[in-house]
Structure 1
């Protein structure tokens, strides 16, 4: 089948699957919003999660059925669908989310991502993300913060407020620590000490560690390696991606970060978080370089 037909066919199927699942999801969300009983709201939240997992499961089945892309998971860890995880990962492509969902759906709690506030206006999906308690954040540029210093710290406050909702339920909080997808242009602009990664931004992960202190015990450290030089969602749907690797390491929260801290005002806590993430990113960069060299692939740049 020609690539453009593959893409059209896959897009249509995913769209139909989305409408099939989001219709009852949004109706249940309205019921949840109207109910004053905490127990009933909790039960509906569980049903909403099951609907999301079913939606992901069908999307993943279509990826397996209609693309030749091989997705392999490397690493051993005891995964628990009733556990509590902070999931850290490099961000390479729009493929990252469906690939991670395909591998970890129902093996750990539903992956919840930090989303830009503007994404709440995405048709259908924006309301679905809201209904599933995905945290929305208003990210402020350095120029905006310079003009309005009172905005500084609001992103971290929003992170803490979002995490407070997850204090009593199984959760996987997903954090693409670089804050944006890797491109050659961004890499050249940042000049990071890594060949295949952008600089990690520690604030979001630090706020999660602080808000979930005492509950969060496992950090699921994931490294995505694309063995194709220009991965995109269109390439995935067109069947042009050959092989995607996910390397997994389950880590305990470092002792000096386990009790949390205020990233904005505590310079020692901030420095510890930054050192920890920089160390993880150095390991990731070396791993990606080694895998690409082994497979004879081009450097992982756009």
Structure 2
């Protein structure tokens, strides 16, 4: 009973924090619409990012107040909030967004996500995400593109448009490369060469990398694990049962493995596939160590 009450209170506080953030960022977005001058847009984008930093800071406080978490954070010492990054990560739970934003908020610029275009019409949330310069993706079906081939570049154009805004303000784009959460159920049925990961969707990562390439100072690879709460970490987080969070951070320079035309250069495309699959293999080996160590304790 007590845990259920704690869960209800935590949900309320997280929703209140998110609602307040959405309201503030929406107001800043309206100012950008009413006063569409370059200087005003940059100032409002910076203020919106600061509000997101506050959102993440409050979430971190709520995490630590309601859970006795053993934080195991490795790497990322030389990152900067004044640079541009692409962040790739494995995806286990809804808790990932809260954990990533909380851990990385003082290391790199506040993260942006690729969003479904339908979210643009959600009251407050859509306007707030637009105010944060997040790109909205239409993700047309194959059948739609067959009928409307001229719309094939809609998503790439959306990222390019967002990148024009990113030039003025240091930015991190976040990509959950697996494309979905690697739940126990999905891992049981997925055809994957990895023990703890789904196969990364190379095209999605390359899509963002290709659009942002000249802006980027590096690719940040994050490996997340909840070794003592593997079944449902988000539910455990809300109930105050989250006990250990592992965050491993590696940084890759933008070298020949990452600089090229994925869509038109077949040699680069094959090389990029090898690079990302190697990153995922190393990530899987790291997770094997995390889970086996926790099992032995």
- Confirm or deny a common fold (TM above 0.5): yes
Q: CA deviation at 1:149?
A: 5.8
CA contact (8 A) 1:112 1:173 kept: yes
CA deviation map 1:93-123 (0-9, x unaligned): 1000000111111321011111222333444
Distance 1:145 1:279 in 2: 32
Q: CA deviation at 1:147?
A: 7.0
The residue that corresponds to 1:292 in the other structure is 291
| Alignment: residue pair count | 295
**3-state SS of 2:86 partner:** strand
Q: Tell me which moved more, 280-289 or 158-167.
A: 158-167
Distance 2:49 2:60 in 1: 16
Distance 2:283 2:210 in 1: 24
**3-state SS of 1:198 partner:** coil
The residue that corresponds to 1:235 in the other structure is 236
Relative distance call for 1:218 and 1:18 in structure 2 (3 A) is: same
For 1:41-56, list aligned pairs within 5 A: 41-56=41-56
The residue that corresponds to 1:85 in the other structure is 85
For 1:106-145, list aligned pairs within 5 A: 106-141=106-141
CA contact (8 A) 1:87 1:172 kept: yes
Q: CA deviation at 1:207?
A: 2.4
Unpaired stretches in structure 2, ≥5 consecutive residues:
none
For 1:144-293, list aligned pairs within 5 A: 152-227=152-227, 228-258=229-259, 260-261=260-261, 263-293=262-292
Relative distance call for 1:272 and 1:149 in structure 2 (3 A) is: farther
CA contact (8 A) 1:153 1:264 kept: no
Distance 1:143 1:281 in 2: 31
Q: CA deviation at 1:154?
A: 3.8
Relative distance call for 1:41 and 1:151 in structure 2 (3 A) is: closer
CA contact (8 A) 2:29 2:127 kept: no
Distance 2:142 2:197 in 1: 21
**3-state SS of 1:236 partner:** helix
CA contact (8 A) 2:45 2:133 kept: no
**3-state SS of 1:82 partner:** coil
Distance 1:218 1:14 in 2: 31
Relative distance call for 1:271 and 1:237 in structure 2 (3 A) is: same
Q: Tell me which moved more, 86-95 or 288-297.
A: 288-297
CA contact (8 A) 1:156 1:203 kept: no
CA contact (8 A) 2:83 2:217 kept: no
Q: CA deviation at 1:203?
A: 1.8
The residue that corresponds to 1:300 in the other structure is none
CA deviation map 1:118-164 (0-9, x unaligned): 33344433321121111221234556667766655543343333323
Relative distance call for 1:234 and 1:119 in structure 2 (3 A) is: farther
TM-score by length of 1: 0.89
The residue that corresponds to 2:24 in the other structure is 24
For the aligned residues, what is the CA RMSD?
A: 2.2
Distance 2:188 2:66 in 1: 36
Distance 1:123 1:232 in 2: 28
**3-state SS of 1:139 partner:** coil
